[in-house]
Structure 1
Amino acid sequence: MKTRALALLALAGLSTGCVTSYAARPPLSFQDFDYSSPEGKPWPVKRLALPDTAAAHGLARVPEVAYVELNPEGTQTVLFIHGLGSYLKFWRYQLDAFAAQGYRVIAVDLPGFGKSDKPASFPYSMEAMGDVVHELAQKVGANKPILVGHSMGGQTSLSYAIRYPEDLKAVVLTAPAGFEKFSPREKAWFLRAFSTALVKSTPEYGIWGSVRQGNFERWRPELNWLIEERVRVAKSPEFDSYAYANVRTVNGLVHNDFVRDSLGRVTVPTLIIYGEDDRLIPNPFLHGGEVREVMSYGHEHIPGSKLVGLERCGHTVQMDCPQDYNQQVLAFLKGLESGARP
């Protein structure tokens, strides 16, 4: 199964054509990642210890997460949660734009990702991730935040919404995980096929394929930093703990029927927004199908939710089609201010 997964990555990479190679460039640590707007405006990075999460999950050491905050004077907090294998910089086209609209903006690196701690003892379940976001919101005084989660961040947002409904104003589920059904056999496949060795041994052309081809429909050169950072950080000592966090998180994602079975318990206003050319949902290696079918399942089971599909947009829709995405999400948020439901 590992061989098959590597072959799929290689085929994806070969289809990208002539691309820039970053393999000869020096290593880059997660802490050296450039967290800034597309215009180069740096974001101040803060850190927060999570003693409540540590106590709830029996961690001997209290982990810390990194986050950025813009426009702290804003009265309504919008809290952005990234997806699997990524970090808060994947909201590069949203943070300043939403802060400019008057919102208090917070974006977090979840445990195991970006500049946050990557403890091997952390559970990496969606419930634990939800606890992290909940504690962060409580500690920074974000009263009833609006959660905006992408992919895994969407499933984390759902876990939060189901378990802490009184501490939430609304959710924006961006190409969310959590709606797709995986059989016991498919879950076993994930355990066999997805390993730290696979994450660590992915060649550069496979990274080009999985990122550019798997996540985007409108790739443009300004996104090349996604490839460069991934290639160079793989040479850093911290990458082992990141690879382990990815594997544990995938296990947490697929073994989380609690979220899918509890969608009816989401009571806050909900926007589900996705790219109609998503190549990762549904899982293309297991059962295929159409992304619209998966997203429609969530829409049908979350009372009063709104469903929006964006044409010619891929899985990482907030970066692939930032203008269309921002327009739809900001309109949804403005509707909340007027008291309108989706």
Structure 2
Amino acid sequence: MGPTYVLKKPLAALLTSLTLLSAAPAFAANVYGEQLEGFTYPYTLQHFNFSSQQQSLSMGYMDVKPQQNANGKTVVLMHGKNFCGATWEETIRDLSEKGYRVIAPDQIGFCSSTKPANYQYTFQQLAENTHQLLTKLGVQKAVIIGHSTGGMLATRYALMYPNQTEKLVLVNPIGLEDWKAKGAPYRTVDQWYERELKLSAEGIKKYEQQTYYVGRWKPEYDKWVDMLAGLNSGPGHKKVAWNSALIYDMIFTQPVYYEFKEINVPTTLIIGTSDTTAIGSDIASPAVKATLGNYKVLGKEVAKLIPGARLIELPGMGHAPQMEEPAKFNQTLIDDLAR
């Protein structure tokens, strides 16, 4: 038996502290306010103030004019659950350079917009909020582009306002399947809240690297981790987590899948085929998980459900092609809009 070493208390305490520190989640490099105050948006951030559900709300948005040769068309970009209007940065630039007016709102509960203490989240309500914004801005008809959860919202918007929707473009939308019907377990809002309170920069980056970028990483992705982690670790931490929980419940319990066949506007799906995003898959059984989030199959299936839909596949790309390979994605989108 070898010799026994006894650590002196100061050294033992130091080593214990270092162990705990190394095990702790990485916190955000920057901390942002409840409405993402302190984060720099790529274009001028404005706010639309309105009343909804007996409370005053503020909706952040960017309204970017055409940089040259205005074509008279407006594009509305709808962000996803862990995204903001700002994450469309390079798409906004390229579209505006091609003559489009581009409007990128932050939905209520997200990013630069109000985080209500209580709000009945429905895709219908968020679509109505967006429609009010566009009416205020004098937009009568627009191309509606939705990514991720924004794809579910864009679908709902097109179903509610077909006459105001010139075209619908869905970029790796979630909701191409009904996860609950396939066996994914239900989380209560309280369970979602507890989960969201634990978000860290380290966890966000790990998830994004795996799902958004198929294991790859570039330095330019770091600012989007910082944006989300900084919002979640700021003074509005609990409000941000609570609204996130309410929004996840909306996503899981309000499928648009069954209404794809009712869409009657020109529609394009742009699908990164290596995407595996599926709400609830992280707590599903292995057998159920194996059936979820197969975008290589889901894109083809849903393209058949939507009358006259066009499918564009981006082989090997993940959940956020507009951020993963912006130049390639933007050219694909611009070519499609020019058809």
Q: Distance in 1 between the 2:29 and 2:332 partners?
A: 39
Q: Deviations over 1:304-323 (max 9, x none)?
A: 00111112211011101212
2:271 is aligned, of 259, 271, 274, to: 274
Match in the other structure for 1:244: 242
1:177 match: secondary structure: coil
Unaligned ranges ≥5, structure 2? 1-24
Residue pairs, 1:292-303, within 5 angstroms: 292-303=296-307
Q: Is the aligned partner of 1:120 residue 2:117?
A: yes
Shift of 1:110: 0.5
Shift of 1:184: 5.4
Q: Moved runs in structure 1, 4+ residues, more than 6 A?
A: none
- Cα pair 1:187 1:255 within 8 Å, conserved: no
Q: Distance in 2 between the 1:267 and 1:50 partners?
A: 30
Q: Distance in 2 between the 1:316 and 1:64 partners?
A: 27
Describe the shift of the 1:24–1:156 C-alpha distance in structure 2 as closer, same or farther (beyond 3 A): closer
Q: Is the aligned partner of 1:323 residue 2:321?
A: no
- Cα pair 1:65 1:109 within 8 Å, conserved: yes
1:106 is aligned, of 100, 103, 107, to: 103
Shift of 1:270: 0.6
Q: Distance in 2 between the 1:313 and 1:129 partners?
A: 29
2:186 is aligned, of 185, 189, 209, to: 189
Q: Is the aligned partner of 1:46 residue 2:46?
A: yes
Describe the shift of the 1:279–1:35 C-alpha distance in structure 2 as closer, same or farther (beyond 3 A): same
Q: Is the aligned partner of 1:32 residue 2:30?
A: no
Unaligned ranges ≥5, structure 1? 1-20, 37-42, 336-342
- Cα pair 1:299 1:306 within 8 Å, conserved: yes
Structure 1 vs Structure 2 CA RMSD: 2.2
Match in the other structure for 2:11: none
Match in the other structure for 2:252: 254
- Cα pair 1:85 1:246 within 8 Å, conserved: no
What is the identity, as a one-letter code, of the residue corresponding to 2:269?
A: I
What is the identity, as a one-letter code, of the residue corresponding to 2:337?
A: L
Match in the other structure for 1:220: 218
Shift of 1:213: 1.8
- Cα pair 1:98 1:105 within 8 Å, conserved: yes
What is the identity, as a one-letter code, of the residue corresponding to 1:164?
A: Y
Shift of 1:235: 2.6
2:65 is aligned, of 68, 71, 89, to: 71
- Cα pair 2:148 2:171 within 8 Å, conserved: yes
Q: Is the aligned partner of 1:61 residue 2:58?
A: no
TM-score (normalizing by structure 1): 0.82
Q: Distance in 1 between the 2:60 and 2:279 partners?
A: 31
TM-score (normalizing by structure 2): 0.83
Identity of matched residues, %: 24
Q: Deviations over 1:135-178 (max 9, x none)?
A: 11221111211011101100000001111111110011011122
Q: Is the aligned partner of 1:230 residue 2:228?
A: yes
